[in-house]
Amino acid sequence: MIRPMQSTDAADLLALLHWMDDAPEREVFAPDARDPAELLLECEDSRCLVMEDDAGEGVRAYCALSPFRDGLVLEGPIGDGGHLRALVGRAVDGAQGLPVYAFCARDNQDVRDALEAAGFAPMHTTDFYSAPLPDLSRRAALPDGHTLRRTLPIAEYRALYRASEDTWANRLDWTPEEYDAHFGRDDVRLLALMRGSHAVGFAELEFNPDAARADVTYLAVHPAERGQRYGQHLLALAAAEAQTHPELRTLRVRAHDHMRPARALYTHAGLTHCRAVVTYLRDGDEDV
């Protein structure tokens, strides 16, 4: 039976989340919390559904819709077996004509089948690469005639961001207050490589102490400045920055499937492939 999630389901949902965590191929977009109270708080703004087992004594699968970008994002489905299609179908019935995004591991075939049966289409695959911090930071050095800045005026950030042609165009809509709030966070760093007063590129870092990892969430080199090893310099400088935090051990980066130069850069720098996630979209006003 599919029904709305109740507060008493928190323990069962946590068990499902830990089951997902145990195998990378089960990964889907899901709540971050791994504590019952925090999990219930995180789920407050979502339309959460669960599927009970045949005896009605526990939860065997979970799915939810949450606000995201210009529409909604599907959390899950988390569970195994053919019941996932019915759960996803029930969840997207509540989309009210809005576009719905979904994310899952490339190898999570059961979920991919359920998404595609519900009208989702794959947009792109994002590959992740990682390496130990010392392997990268030992090459950290500024190119001759260059300096490193930890802030950029929002206009310069937007101009370089726009020129780099990445898909995260929503950042161009940030207000100055949102920009300052993001880079004011303790777990976020901006490293801008400067030649005189001109920013040739930048790297954005987010620290994840629980995973002992720093993520390069964005790396930009202006198209007119490419071919001068700035990407390699920024990777090494990002690793050196992360290594100032003893709790961090690895650096992770990502590249969409159309970003061939970035993939070549990461491979050449010695990072190894560790994860692949497929982004799906179900267009708004689509009948399932």
Residue at a domain's end among 73, 96, 119: 119
- The structural domain count of the chain equals 2
Q: How far apart are CA 153 and CA 179, in angstroms?
A: 10
One domain for residues 66 and 140: no
Question: 270 lies in a domain?
Answer: yes
- Which residue reads 């708080």 in tokens? 41
- pLDDT of residue 271 exceeding 60, the answer is yes
One domain for residues 141 and 115: no
Question: 281 lies in a domain?
Answer: no
One domain for residues 135 and 109: no
Residue at a domain's end among 91, 119, 147: 119
Tell me the pLDDT tens digit for each residue of 142-167.
Answer: 999 999 999 999 999 988 888 876 55
One domain for residues 146 and 106: no
Question: 218 lies in a domain?
Answer: yes
One domain for residues 193 and 109: no
One domain for residues 107 and 212: no
Tell me the pLDDT tens digit for each residue of 181-194.
Answer: 999 999 999 999 99
One domain for residues 39 and 174: no
Q: How far apart are CA 74 and CA 95, in angstroms?
A: 10
C-alpha dist (Å) from residue 193 to 6, 148, 149, 180: 50, 5, 7, 19
Question: 288 lies in a domain?
Answer: no
Tell me the pLDDT tens digit for each residue of 228-259.
Answer: 999 999 999 999 999 999 999 999 999 988 88
Percent of the chain with pLDDT over 90: 73
Non-local (6+) Cβ contacts of 33 within 8 A are 39, 41, 42
DSSP letter at 164? T
The CATH number of the domain where 30 resides is what? 3.40.630.30
Nearest to 29 by CA among 90, 82, 91, 83: 91
Q: How far apart are CA 104 and CA 112, in angstroms?
A: 7
- pLDDT of residue 288 exceeding 50, the answer is no
Question: 34 lies in a domain?
Answer: yes
One domain for residues 135 and 257: yes
- Which residue reads 């690793």 in tokens? 239
Residue at a domain's end among 100, 119, 138: 119
One domain for residues 159 and 203: yes
pLDDT confidence band for 169 (50 / 70 / 90): low
- pLDDT of residue 285 exceeding 80, the answer is no
One domain for residues 100 and 178: no
One domain for residues 145 and 17: no
Task: Give the strands of the sheet with 100-105, arranged side by side.
Answer: 2-4, 47-52, 59-68, 71-78, 100-105, 272-282, 121-132, 250-256, 213-221, 198-208, 188-195, 146-149
Q: Are 139 and 248 in contact (CB under 8 A)?
A: no
C-alpha dist (Å) from residue 207 to 233, 241, 272: 19, 10, 19
pTM of the complete model: 0.84
One domain for residues 87 and 168: no
Around Cβ 12, how many Cβ atoms within 10 Å? Answer: 19
Question: 92 lies in a domain?
Answer: yes
Q: Where are the alpha helices (DSSP H) in 35-132?
A: 36-42, 84-92, 109-117
pLDDT value at residue 287:
45
Range(s) of the domain holding residue 109:
2-119
